[in-house]
Amino acid sequence: MTTIPPIVSIDDLAIYPDAVLADVRWYLDGTDGRSVYESGHLPGAIFIDLERDLVAPATGGAAGRHPLPEPEAFAASMSSHGIGDDSVVIAYDDTGGMSAGRLVVMLRMLGRNAALLDGGIGLWKGALMTGPGAISDQLEFTPCQWPLDRLATEDDVATMCKSGHGLLLDARATERFTGEVTQIDPRPGHIPGAASAPWAANLDPTTKRFHAAADLRERFNDLGVSASDNVVTYCGSGVSACMNILALEQAGLPPARLYVASFSGWSADPDRPVELGPGR
């Protein structure tokens, strides 16, 4: 049972002295996250490679760019990094959570204690460590199936599009949602009927900290969350959409399901419709 809140502050680190600090910096432009980690990371933090530790080998097509790893592979990866069944994990990056949120959501889905460090490395006032970091002792991480009630499939999303029942939240930047910019995705635009809900709008643009829970609640309710009993969030490949999942939980709203393949999977299927423009 998860007991740690989804988002913790720098000051809260003192409450969790034995927590595993996980650096999950990753960049869409191909910048090497490990090199960035080795140039300076929080003391004692381990490096989690999003492409190696948090995704299965991509096969393309409807599976999207970042499919979830098999449970056994994910468990082995966590174990090798010194994360066990009873570990508390606090993850961070340098964007406010765009990539670190993926690890947090994956662990919380499985009932593990994991949280996002609010504001990330940019708010750390102490000295940073350099180098590859210490080698972690392996701990037992029991493989668990991904909970189906927390995930949405392509067919689930297609049914939502046809029926008009439910709420799709697109976490990509507005210009990708409208189709003005095509970045990596096979086609421009968004899934029909989706609402634009950029992940970055959950954060203060200066501090990269999450807005207050009441403000997050107002934001999502304005998008229609309170009027829907079926909320699904997606992005380009199931990474930044995790920020909306965490923000919804922080706001005290019911959990959203993650469409892991997201628009990279949806738009790769020529039979799936897309929309251009501002949407709903």
Inform me whether the pLDDT recorded for 279 exceeds 80: no
Distances in Å between the Cα of 144 and the Cα atoms of 78, 90, 148, 161 are 12, 20, 12, 31
Under 8 Å between Cβ of 246 and 104: yes
Angstrom distance (rounded) from CA 248 to CA 224? 12
Residues 6+ apart with CB under 8 A from 263: 170, 172, 185, 190, 191, 234, 235, 236, 237
Angstrom distance (rounded) from CA 120 to CA 118? 5
Closest of 218, 166, 215 to residue 195, by C-alpha: 166
Inform me whether the pLDDT recorded for 251 exceeds 80: yes
Tens-place pLDDT, residues 32-79? 999 999 999 999 999 999 999 999 997 889 999 999 999 999 999 999
Closest of 84, 32, 61 to residue 268, by C-alpha: 61
Q: Which of 144, 161, 235, 242 is catalytic?
A: 235
Q: Give the per-residue pLDDT at 183.
A: 75
Q: Mean pLDDT, to the nearest integer, of 17-30?
A: 96
Inform me whether the pLDDT recorded for 14 exceeds 80: yes
Q: Mean pLDDT, to the nearest integer, of 94-116?
A: 98
Sheet holding 167-170, edge to edge: 195-196, 167-170, 231-234, 257-258
pLDDT above 70 coverage of the chain, percent: 99
What confidence category does residue 131 fall into, taking pLDDT thresholds of 50, 70 and 90? very high
Q: Write down all domains in the chain, each with its CATH number in brackets.
A: 7-123 (3.40.250.10), 148-266 (3.40.250.10)
| Helix pair 241-250, 213-222: axis angle to 10 deg | 120
What confidence category does residue 22 fall into, taking pLDDT thresholds of 50, 70 and 90? very high
**Which residue is listed with tokens 């034995």?**
18
Q: Give the per-residue pLDDT at 238.
A: 98
Inform me whether the pLDDT recorded for 205 exceeds 80: yes
Whether 144 is catalytic: no
Q: Mean pLDDT, to the nearest integer, of 84-96?
A: 98
Inform me whether the pLDDT recorded for 115 exceeds 80: yes
Under 8 Å between Cβ of 249 and 6: yes
Tens-place pLDDT, residues 138-188? 999 999 999 999 999 999 999 999 898 999 999 999 999 999 988 788 899
